């Protein structure tokens, strides 16, 4: 395929309730949607960067300029024969993994559509996994009572696992409250988004009493060494999210015992190719992975579900149903939770869903079209496009 045209849509969808983590609080989901066009066929993806560099250093603004100045010119310079070769176009370009991922994932969607097969087949997913077990990630709540009510509600809806966000001062008591409210057998875990320091090991060890499936990213994103020490100290398995940006990171982390589980988000690691490598490295070493989430719209959610069909995704993902996030999703019909606590993988060609035109018009805050063989791109985004958006802190 030769990319002929690229549509960029910056969208904002109100969240039903604010999502608070140790990094800040978000009441609107904002994202770039990218649509690649070739031969009259679209390829869709959603970029998981936020307005501010709190989860990783990428932002909507860095993504836009990485695409414009470096990534799109390389991708559109010559035809693409196979989605597996996309990452070779980035040789020498460091970082910008979320920007790279969105383009690569849109190419994968395009090839699925062009060949008339669902993306999971193209990715090598297990044909027996048509329904993906899912959990829900609950943000920091204003009170223990609010946390308890929400968790009980999600458990009643059928979610297979409850994850809660923790930070110093909101950890042992919320976890204890939840364990008592949900019962001994409910799979539970906690995610700190790097809120703790190595000195906090003693406090974190108190979580061992509550039989969490795992503790996600307790320490700094760039620190495998202290995670290794902590993993030795705790009985609760350590799962890494922010710390794992590549297959090499995964290999090192497993090798040194910094974690025994990885939360894979294709956007964080640069796309499907790298996500599959991480999946495989874990499998070869006898470890498991699961699919995280970034509060994606239905476009990114569909991508995550297709990825989750690979055989070593062993635990429920953070890919919850549309109504856990939005009154209205970008896709119609929205993703719904099956009574058995799964989401169904869309069966159409590619990711099997597309942005509903009317909803896209209503949620779109900005649009740009890039065209031409070399996609010579001029102009720039308005200075105030991202001001005051996204996570507040
Ligand atoms: O750390 O997994 C995380 C959301 C935004 C940024 C980081 C994280 C999360 C979540 C929510 O936990 C997962 C989801 O429901 O999409
Ligand atoms: Mg996380």
Together in a domain, 199 and 108: no
Residue with tokens 């709540």: 141
Together in a domain, 61 and 161: no
**Residue 95 predicted with pLDDT over 90:** yes
**Residue 377 predicted with pLDDT over 60:** no
Alpha carbon distance 389, 290 (integer Å): 29
117 C-alpha vs ligand 1 centroid, how far in Å?
Answer: 29
> What is the mean pLDDT of the segment spanning 325-354?
97
Q: What is the pLDDT of residue 386?
A: 75
**Residue 375 predicted with pLDDT over 60:** no
Q: Which atom of ligand 1 is nearest to the CA of 26?
A: 5
20 C-alpha vs ligand 1 centroid, how far in Å?
Answer: 10
Task: Taking each helix axis as running N to C, give the angle between helix 172-182 and helix 144-157, from 0 to 180 degrees, rounded to the nearest 10.
Answer: 40
Q: What is the pLDDT of residue 373?
A: 53
Q: What is the pLDDT of residue 384?
A: 72
**Residue 13 predicted with pLDDT over 60:** yes
Confidence of residue 122 (pLDDT cuts 50, 70, 90): very high
> What is the mean pLDDT of the segment spanning 215-219?
98
116 C-alpha vs ligand 2 centroid, how far in Å?
Answer: 34
Tell me the C-alpha to C-alpha distance, in Å, between residue 96 and each of 17, 47, 62, 340, 361.
Answer: 29, 11, 8, 38, 28
Q: What is the pLDDT of residue 379?
A: 62
Q: What is the pTM of this model?
A: 0.95
Together in a domain, 220 and 256: yes
pLDDT digits (tens, 9 = 90+) for 261-310: 999 999 999 999 999 999 999 999 999 999 999 999 999 999 999 999 99
| Residue 215 domain flag | yes
> What is the mean pLDDT of the segment spanning 49-62?
95
Together in a domain, 361 and 283: no
> What is the mean pLDDT of the segment spanning 52-80?
93
Q: Which atom of ligand 1 is nearest to the CA of 325?
A: 15
Q: What is the pLDDT of residue 101?
A: 98
| Residue 9 domain flag | yes
Q: What is the pLDDT of residue 222?
A: 97
241 C-alpha vs ligand 2 centroid, how far in Å?
Answer: 5
Task: List Cβ neighbours of 171 (8 Å cut-off, separation of 6 or more).
Answer: 190, 192, 203, 204, 207
Residue where a domain stops, chosen among 300, 322, 344: 344
Q: What is the pLDDT of residue 381?
A: 74
Q: Whose CA is nearest to atom 4 of ligand 1?
A: 294
Counting other chains too, the contacts that 26-30 makes at CB distance below 8 Å and 24 or more residues apart are 26/50, 26/295, 26/390, 26/391, 26/392, 27/392, 28/389, 28/390, 29/295, 29/296, 29/297, 29/325, 29/326, 30/60, 30/365, 30/386, 30/389, 30/390
| Residue 382 domain flag | no
Q: Which ligand ends up closest to the CA of 215?
A: 2
| Residue 393 domain flag | no
Q: Which residues lie with the beta carbon below 6 Å from any ligand 1 atom?
A: 55, 137, 191, 193, 241, 292-295, 318, 320
Buried b (16+ CB within 10 A) or exposed e, 300-327: bbbbbbbbbbbebbebbbbbbbbebbbe
- CATH number of the domain that residue 91 is part of: 3.30.390.10
Residue 338 and residue 319 in contact, taking contact as beta carbons nearer than 8 Å:
no
Alpha carbon distance 269, 374 (integer Å): 26
Residue 5 and residue 369 in contact, taking contact as beta carbons nearer than 8 Å:
yes
| Residue 383 domain flag | no
The string of DSSP letters for 330-356 reads SSSSPP---TTSEEEPP-SSBTS----
Together in a domain, 359 and 231: no
**Residue 219 predicted with pLDDT over 70:** yes
> What is the mean pLDDT of the segment spanning 130-144?
97
Together in a domain, 274 and 295: yes
Could you tell me what percent of the chain has a pLDDT over 90? 92
Pocket-testing residue among 295, 308, 324, 392, ligand 1, by greatest number of atoms within 8 A of Cβ: 295
Together in a domain, 188 and 294: yes
Q: Is 100 a catalytic residue?
A: no
**Residue 374 predicted with pLDDT over 60:** no
Q: Which atom of ligand 1 is nearest to the CA of 324?
A: 15
Bond preceding residue 333 cis, omega within 30 of 0: yes
Together in a domain, 225 and 113: no
| Residue 387 domain flag | no
Q: What is the pLDDT of residue 372?
A: 62
Together in a domain, 211 and 65: no
Count of domains forming the chain:
2
**Residue 376 predicted with pLDDT over 70:** no
Q: What is the pLDDT of residue 18?
A: 95
> What is the mean pLDDT of the segment spanning 176-182?
97
pLDDT digits (tens, 9 = 90+) for 181-206: 999 999 999 999 999 999 999 999 99
Together in a domain, 279 and 359: no
Together in a domain, 96 and 199: no
| Residue 349 domain flag | no
Together in a domain, 371 and 240: no
Q: What is the pLDDT of residue 80?
A: 97
**Residue 11 predicted with pLDDT over 70:** yes
Domain that holds residue 140: 121-344
Q: What is the pLDDT of residue 342?
A: 98
Of 267, 266, 259, 255, give the one whose Cα is nearest residue 243.
259
| Residue 130 domain flag | yes
Point out the catalytic residue in the list 29, 167, 265, 276.
Answer: 265
Q: Is 265 a catalytic residue?
A: yes
Q: Whose CA is nearest to atom 9 of ligand 1?
A: 294
Q: Which residues sit with Cβ closer than 5 angstroms to ligand 2, an ion?
A: 191, 216, 241
């Amino acid at each position: 395929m030769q990319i002929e045209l690229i549509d960029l849509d910056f969208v904002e969808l109100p969240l039903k309730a604010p999502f608070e983590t140790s990094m800040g609080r978000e009441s609107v989901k904002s994202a770039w949607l990218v649509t690649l066009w070739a031969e009259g066929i679209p390829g869709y993806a959603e970029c998981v960067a936020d307005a501010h560099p709190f989860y990783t250093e990428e932002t909507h603004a860095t993504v836009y300029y990485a695409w414009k100045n470096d990534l799109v010119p390389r991708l559109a310079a010559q035809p693409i024969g196979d989605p597996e070769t996309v990452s070779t176009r980035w040789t020498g370009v460091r970082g910008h993994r979320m920007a790279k991922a969105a383009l690569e994932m849109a190419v994968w969607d395009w090839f699925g559509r062009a060949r008339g097969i669902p993306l999971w087949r193209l990715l090598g997913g297990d044909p027996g996994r048509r329904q993906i077990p899912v959990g829900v990630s609950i943000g920091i709540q204003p009170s223990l009572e609010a946390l308890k009510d929400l968790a009980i509600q999600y458990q009643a809806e059928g979610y297979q696992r409850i994850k809660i966000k923790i930070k110093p001062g909101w950890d042992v008591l919320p976890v204890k409250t939840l364990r008592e409210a949900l019962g001994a057998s409910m799979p539970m875990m906690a995610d700190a988004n790097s809120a703790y320091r190595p000195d906090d090991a003693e406090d974190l060890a108190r979580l061992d009493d509550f039989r969490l499936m795992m503790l996600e990213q307790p320490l700094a994103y760039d620190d495998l060494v202290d995670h290794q020490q902590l993993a030795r100290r705790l009985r609760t398995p350590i799962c890494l999210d922010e710390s794992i940006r590549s297959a090499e990171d995964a290999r090192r982390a497993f090798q040194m015992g910094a974690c025994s589980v990885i939360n894979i988000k294709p956007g964080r690691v640069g796309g499907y190719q790298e996500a599959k490598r991480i999946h495989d490295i874990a499998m070869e070493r006898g470890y498991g992975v699961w699919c995280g989430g970034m509060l994606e719209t239905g476009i990114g959610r569909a991508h995550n579900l297709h990825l989750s069909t690979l055989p070593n995704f062993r635990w429920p993902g953070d890919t919850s149903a549309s109504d856990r996030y939005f009154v209205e999703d970008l896709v119609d019909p929205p993703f719904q939770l099956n009574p058995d606590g799964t989401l169904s993988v869309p069966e159409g060609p590619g990711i099997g869903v597309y942005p509903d035109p009317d909803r896209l018009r209503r949620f779109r805050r900005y649009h740009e079209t890039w065209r031409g063989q070399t996609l010579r791109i001029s102009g720039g985004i308005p200075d105030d496009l991202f001001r005051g958006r996204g996570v507040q802190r």
